[in-house]
Amino acid sequence: MKPMNECITLAYGSGGKLTHQLINDLFYKYFGNDLLLKGGDSAVFQTQDGNMAFTTDSYVISPIFFKGGNIGRLAVCGTVNDLAVSGAVPQYLSCSFIIEEGFRLEELELIVKSMADTAKDAGVAIITGDTKVVQRGCADRIFINTAGIGLIPKGVFYSVKKIRKGDKVILSGSMGDHGTAILLDRENLQVQSHIESDCTPLNLLLQPLTQKFSDSIHVMRDPTRGGVATTLNELIAGSGLSISLYESAIPVRDEVKGICEMLGIDPMFMANEGKVLIIADSNQADNIVALLKDSPYGKDACIIGTVTDHFRDKVYINTLAGGSRIVGMLTGDQLPRIC
Amino acid sequence: MSDQYIRAIITINGIVQGVGFRPFVYNLALSCHIGGWVNNFPGGVHIEAEGVKESVQTFIRRLKQEAPPVSSINTFQIKYASPFGYSDFTIRQSSSEHAREVYISADIAVCKDCLNEMNDPTNKRYRYPFINCTNCGPRFTITSDVPYDRINTTMNEFLMCEKCSGEYHDQTNRRFHAQPIACEQCGPRLFLLDSTGKQIAADRELEKSVELLKRGKILAVKGMGGYHLACDAKNSQAVRELRKRKARDGKPFALMAKNIETVRRYCLLDEQESELLQGIKRPIVLLKQKLKTELAIESISPDNNKLGIMLPNTPLHYLLFDGVELLVMTSGNRSGEPIYYKDEEVIEGLRGIADYFLVNNRKIYIRTDDSVTSLFRRKECVIRRSRGYVPVPLDISSAVCSVKHLSNAIPSVLACGSELKNTFCLTKGNKAFLSHHIGDLENLETLLSFETGNEHLKKIFSIVPEAVAFDKHPDYFSTRYADTLLGIKKFPIQHHHAHIASCMAENNIADKVIGIAFDGTGYGDDGKIWGGEFFIGDYSRFERQAHFEYIPLPGGEIGIKEPWRMAVSYLAQAFGSNAFPHFLPFLSKIDPQKVNLVMEQIAKQINTPLTSSVGRLFDAVSSLAGLCNVIEYEGQAAIRLEKEADARDTCLYPYEIITEEYGYRIRILQMIRAIAEDVSQGTEISHIAGAFHRTVAGITLDISRLIRKECGLNDVVLSGGVFQNRLLLGMTIDNLERDGFKAYSHSKVPTNDGGISLGQAAITLHKLMEMR
C-alpha cells in the first residue's frame, strides 16, 4: 500500500517509523521466517542443549572516540546487550572491520584493545572475524560489525506477549547519557560538561536478575537508538495495552536535561548503551529494582511506569502539570508539530 | 375572488426537526384558520395547508417570517392542488422516521419565554436551572444517537412527571416533543460539593453558590458542554488566585456578563456585536475594552486591549448573576488538557483549583467548548467554532459543483484535521459537518475524544467515508489515526493547501486563485517547515509561487515556545556571528551562554529545521522589540506586537524579492537589520511594530502583483493563523483591494488550524470525484 520513496534517506536508519516500515515492507517480505518475524533484539532458536540467542549489529558511530568509550567498546557492548536482554548468557562474538584507507594503525590498536578489554569484562570471547579495507571516501574511517551467540538458561523465556496489565516498567538508570555525550563530542559543542556515554556490557547486571526473577520478568530491552520512547512504543505495539509513565520518576541527569532542553531535544528519544528497560510482574518489581541497585551499573534503577489497559497501544506521560501527554514514535527528526 | 379556496402543498428542507417546528406550524395554522396537516419526513417537513386564498398566503408568509429561531430553512417549495376538504389541522405521525437524514441541532441558549417563566414565582419552573422548550436548551451535547428522541439523549435517565408529560404530548404546547423537558419534580438537579467532592448542602445550592462567588471563591460550574471555572471578575484577588492555581500568568480569561448593559460598561460594542452576544449561539465575543473601567483588566487580559465576553447561555448561568455582574468563566481544565465534562472526573481533575463544585446530574454526552468569535469589518469571524455552531453543516458545493461529470452519487469523506486546535470534518453530499473543537491531540484525553467524537458523528449522521484526508506531517497524531484506518482511500494533504481550500470552500470559490497562507508551522512538500507561502491553484492542484526565505528554527518546538531563539536566528543570518549585535536589550535577560549555544546550534545545524514561517517572523520581531522572549500561550508574542503597533505608521522596512527558478524568494534580512538598528537607537516600539506590519502587508501586495502579471489571476484567498492579526489582515486586504484585487478571508470557520479539516475535506472530495 505504502508508496516507497525512491531513495533511502537517513530517516530510514533512524530507528523510527521509517526504519520499521523498511523492515516490515522489505526485509520481512523477502526474508520472512518464523524466527525473524518474532522481531526480538536477538533471534532465539532451539538446540539440543536448550535455547540459543543469536544477534548482529553494525557500528558506524561518529566520532569513533567519545567520552566514556569508543566504537570498539560499543561494538562489543551493543551485541552483548542484545543477547543479555533476551535472557541469554553471551558466549562468543564475531567481529568484522571495514576500514577506510589511511586510517591510523595506532587508533585501530586502541579500538581493538578496548574491544578485548570489554569482551573480557563481559566474559565473552571474540572467536572469528573479517577485515576489509576500502578506498578513501568509501567509508567514514572505520565501521565494525559484530555478531554474538549465547545460551539461554532452561525455563527462561522473555517475550512481549507476556506483558500484562498492572506490570511495572523499570529503567536501570538515567536516560540519554550516551546520545548526549555523542552529540557533544560529534559537534564539539562549547559546553562544559561531565556527561559520558553509559556504554557498558549489561550481562553482568542481568544474569543475577534472570537467575532469580526469570518468572517475574516478562520482557527486557535495551533502549538504544530512538531512546526510551521508541523502545517502549515497540514493546507495547499491537498488545492492546498502554504504558503510563510518571514524569517525575524518569531518571535524567541534570546536565543531560539541561543540554537537551537548550537544544530542544527530548531525552526520551536519546540513545542509551548501558541501560535496560524491564517489564515485570508488579509483585517483584521492587525486589528487581533492589537487586539492580546492588550493581554500580544499576544504582539509579527505578520504576518509571505501569502497564494499563485504559487505552490501546499508547505510551503516555503523566506530566508534572497533571496532564497526560502521548509519547509517539518519530518518523525521522524531531520536527515541530506546534504552531 | 378573495374567498377562493386553495390547497398548498409545502415542502421545507433544512433544520426543521427537534426545533419546535411542528407545534409552530400547528399554532400558526390555527391562528390563520388553515386546515390540513404537517409531518416530518427525512430531511424536512411536509405541510398541506388549505383555506381561503388570502389566509393561505398569510400562513405561508408567516411560516417564513416567524419560524422558530433555531430552525434554518434551506429550501421552501410550494405546489398548489385542488382543495381536499380538511376540516381541521393536525400533526401527523411521521410516516417513516429516517431521522438519520435529519440534522441534529446545535445547542441553543435559553429563550425569552423560558426565562420569563423561570423568573415568574407562580410558574412551576420558577428558578429551575434546567428549564427549556423546543426553542432552546441542550441538543448536540446530550444526544447519543438518532433519531433525536428523549431515549437517545442523556435525559433518558429521568422519567417525566405527569405535568411535563402532558406538555410533551400536547401538540399546541411550546414543549411538544421537547426532548430535554424537565421540572423540579422530575428533572435534573444541582449539587454543591466542596473541594473534596463532599456534598455541602442539600438545598439552596444556587443561593449558596452565589454567596461563595461573592466571597471570592472559585467554583467549577457545569455548563452546557463542560465545566467552567468561575469567580467574581471584579474581585482582583480571586482572579489572581485563579491565575496562580491554573498556573496561567498571561493568557486572557473569558468573562460572562450578567447582561448586555454590563458588557457596555466595560467594552465598546456596536449593534452587530451586540447581536452576536445576544444571539442563540451565545459565543464568547472578542470586544475592544473601554480604556477606563474599574475592572482589573490587567489580570483578565494582560496582553491585549480586548476582552472575550459572553452572555449567559443556560438558565443556570442566569441564576448565578444575583449580586454579581461579571464572572470569569474560563475552561474547567488544566493547561493543555481538554475541559472536564464528566462529574466523576472533575473533582479529581480540578483538585487544588476549584474551592467548590456546582454539579448537576444531567450528563453531557459530548464535550463542547465555548465558541469564540469576533466581528471584523461588519463580518463575523469565528475563531473557535464549537458550542452553538456545531453540528450545523457548512455548504461545500463549490468543491462538488466544480467537477464536470456529476453522474455518480457524491462520496463521503473524513478529514482528520491538524494537530493543534484540532477539528475533524465529515462530508455528506454537498454538506460538511465540521466537528466541535477537539483540542491539542498530543494530549491523551484529547486524542481519545478525537477518536470517539469521530465515531459519534459518523453514527449520528450515518456517514461511511470513502476516503480519509490527513496532513502530510508524518508525526501528527491525526495522521497516525488515518494510518490505522483500513479499506479506505487515503489522501495526504499539504497543510497550507488545506488552509486555502478551507477559505475557498466557505467563500464558495471553485476557480483558480492566488492563495496566501501565513501561519506558524505546516509541513512542506520539501520536508521543511512552511508558513509564509504564496500559491496559485484550486482544489485539485496547487503550485507554490513564492515564499519567505528559509531561516533556521533552532531547537524546533523550543524555538517556538521561546521566541528569543528565533530572534537570535534572524540576527545571526542578518549580521553573521562576527557582527552579532549582542548589545540588543532583549538579550540582556538571557544567559549569554545560552545565546552562544543557540548560535552554535544554528551554525552546526543541530536540531534546527528550516522554516519560512511568518508566525516565526512575528515572534522574532516581537522578541527583538523587547516584547516577548518566552511565550505562555500560542500567538502571545504576535499579539503583543499587534497591540503595540501604530496603525497609522506609513513607514516601510526594506526587503528584497529574489527571482528563483520556481518563483520568488522573499528576503527580509535587510528589514531585520533595520529593526535591530531602530531598537538599538531607542525608536518607539509603536513605530517599529507599525512599520513591520505595514511591510509584511506590502510584501503581500508586491508578490500578488507579480503573480497576477504572470497568470492573470485576480482573486486572492487569505488563510492561516497569522491572519488572526486584525491589523495585518486589514492592511493586507486594503492593499489588495486598492490594487484591484478581490480579497477573500475567513468568516464561518477559523483562519487558524481549526479550519484545516474543512479544506482537507473539500480537496479530497473534489479529487475523489475527479477520479471517477
Q: What are the chain B neighbours of A337 within 8 Å (beta carbons)?
A: 419-420, 442, 473, 475-476, 521, 557
Interfacial B residues in 566-595 facing A (CB < 8 Å): 594
Confidence of residue B94 (pLDDT cuts 50, 70, 90): low
Q: What CA–CA distance (Å, rounded) separates B92 from B161?
A: 25
Q: What are the chain B neighbours of A2 within 8 Å (beta carbons)?
A: none
- Residue B294 is predicted with a pLDDT of 67
- Residue B43 is predicted with a pLDDT of 72
By Cβ distance, the residue of A264, A326, A335 closest to B442 is A326
On the question of pLDDT at B477 being above 80, the answer is: yes
CA distance A157 to chain B (A): 31
Mutate to test the interface with B, among A189, A261, A335 (most CBs of B within 10 A): A335
Examine residue B338 and say whether the peptide bond preceding it is cis (omega within 30 degrees of 0): no
Q: What are the chain B neighbours of A331 within 8 Å (beta carbons)?
A: 474-475
Q: What CA–CA distance (Å, rounded) separates A215 from A168?
A: 14
Between the alpha carbon of residue B88 and those of residues B10, B38, B188, B487, the distances in Å are 17, 12, 38, 54
Apex CA A200: angle with CA A196 and CA A13, to 5°? 80
By Cβ distance, the residue of B444, B445, B476 closest to A337 is B476
CB contact under 8 A, B597 and A190: yes
CA distance A100 to chain B (A): 25
- Residue B663 is predicted with a pLDDT of 93
CB contact under 8 A, A326 and B444: yes
**DSSP assignments along B623-676, one per residue:** HHTTS-SS-SSTTHHHHHHHHH--TT-------EEEE-SSSEEEE-HHHHHHHH
Element (H, E) at B23: helix B21-32
- Residue A21 is predicted with a pLDDT of 87
By Cβ distance, the residue of A189, A314, A330 closest to B475 is A330
By Cβ distance, the residue of B473, B557, B635 closest to A264 is B557
- Residue B297 is predicted with a pLDDT of 60
CA distance A141 to chain B (A): 21
Q: What CA–CA distance (Å, rounded) separates B597 from A193?
A: 13
Residue B293 DSSP SS3: coil
Q: What CA–CA distance (Å, rounded) separates B439 from B447?
A: 8
pLDDT in tens, B199-250: 997 889 999 999 999 999 999 999 999 999 999 999 999 999 999 999 888 8
CA distance A223 to chain B (A): 21
Phi, psi at residue B277, to the nearest 5°?
Answer: -65, -40
As a whole number, the mean pLDDT across chain B is: 93
Q: What CA–CA distance (Å, rounded) separates B772 from B770?
A: 5
By Cβ distance, the residue of A324, A331, A336 closest to B474 is A331
Does residue B750 sit at the A interface (CB-CB below 8 Å)? no
Confidence of residue A64 (pLDDT cuts 50, 70, 90): very high
Size of interface A-B (CB pairs under 8 A): 119
- Choice among A42-56, B176-190, B395-409, B571-585 with the minimum mean pLDDT: B395-409
Between the alpha carbon of residue B698 and those of residues A118, A124, A296, B656, B688, the distances in Å are 65, 70, 64, 12, 15
**Residue entry with cell 508488579:** A282
pLDDT in tens, B31-86: 999 999 998 776 788 999 999 999 999 999 999 988 887 788 888 999 999 998 89
Interfacial B residues in 514-553 facing A (CB < 8 Å): 519-521, 523, 529, 553
CB contact under 8 A, B419 and A337: yes
- Residue A125 is predicted with a pLDDT of 98
Specify which of B58-67, B165-174, B399-408, B699-708 reaches the highest per-range mean pLDDT. B699-708
Residue B225 DSSP SS3: coil
CB contact under 8 A, A338 and B420: yes
On the question of pLDDT at B96 being above 60, the answer is: no
CA distance A234 to chain B (A): 15
Q: Which residues of A touch B (CB under 8 A)?
A: 17, 183, 187, 189-191, 261-265, 311, 314, 316, 321-326, 328, 330-339
Nearest-by-CA chain A residue for B722: A339
- Residue B296 is predicted with a pLDDT of 61
Q: What CA–CA distance (Å, rounded) separates B188 from B180?
A: 10
Nearest-by-CA chain A residue for B553: A336
Nearest-by-CA chain B residue for A238: B484
The closest of B96, B93, B100 to B147, measured between CA atoms, is B100
CA distance A13 to chain B (A): 16
pLDDT (average), residues B661-683: 96
Write the CB contacts of A253 (distance below 8 Å, at least 6 apart in sequence). Answer: A174, A176, A177, A195
pLDDT in tens, B727-754: 999 999 999 999 999 999 999 999 999 9
CB contact under 8 A, B445 and A324: yes
Q: How far, rounded to the nearest angstrom, does the alpha carbon of residue B750 sit from its chain's CA centroid?
A: 6
- Residue B328 is predicted with a pLDDT of 97
pLDDT (average), residues A22-47: 92
On the question of pLDDT at B406 being above 60, the answer is: no
Write the CB contacts of B157 (distance below 8 Å, at least 6 apart in sequence). Answer: B361, B363
- Residue A330 is predicted with a pLDDT of 80
Confidence of residue B402 (pLDDT cuts 50, 70, 90): low
List the alpha helices (DSSP H) in B537-591.
Answer: 557-561, 563-575
- Residue B97 is predicted with a pLDDT of 46
By Cβ distance, the residue of A261, A265, A336 closest to B609 is A336
Mutate to test the interface with B, among A244, A268, A337 (most CBs of B within 10 A): A337
On the question of pLDDT at B1 being above 90, the answer is: no
- Per the CB < 8 A criterion, the answer to whether B259 and B310 are in contact is no
- Residue B100 is predicted with a pLDDT of 45
- Residue B407 is predicted with a pLDDT of 53
Apex CA B668: angle with CA B667 and CA B671, to 5°? 150
Residue B391 DSSP SS3: coil
pLDDT (average), residues B448-473: 95
pLDDT in tens, B603-640: 999 999 999 999 999 999 999 999 999 999 999 999 99
CB contact under 8 A, A183 and B596: no
- Choice among A244-253, A257-266, A316-325, B695-704 with the minimum mean pLDDT: A316-325
CA distance B614 to chain A (A): 11
pLDDT in tens, B506-520: 999 999 999 999 999
Between the alpha carbon of residue B650 and those of residues B686, B694, B698, the distances in Å are 12, 7, 11
CA distance A190 to chain B (A): 7
Interhelix angle A105-122/A71-84, rounded to 10 degrees, is: 30
On the question of pLDDT at B699 being above 50, the answer is: yes
CA distance B616 to chain A (A): 9
Interfacial B residues in 427-486 facing A (CB < 8 Å): 441-445, 447-448, 473-477, 480
Q: Are strands A242-246 and B44-52 parallel, antiparallel or unpaired?
A: unpaired
By Cβ distance, the residue of B448, B519, B560 closest to A336 is B560
Write the CB contacts of A242 (distance below 8 Å, at least 6 apart in sequence). Answer: A236, A307, A308, A309, A310, A311, A312, A313, A314, A315, A316
- Residue B95 is predicted with a pLDDT of 57
pLDDT (average), residues B632-652: 95
CB contact under 8 A, A337 and B474: no
Nearest-by-CA chain B residue for A260: B555
Nearest-by-CA chain A residue for B489: A1
Quote the pTM value: 0.92
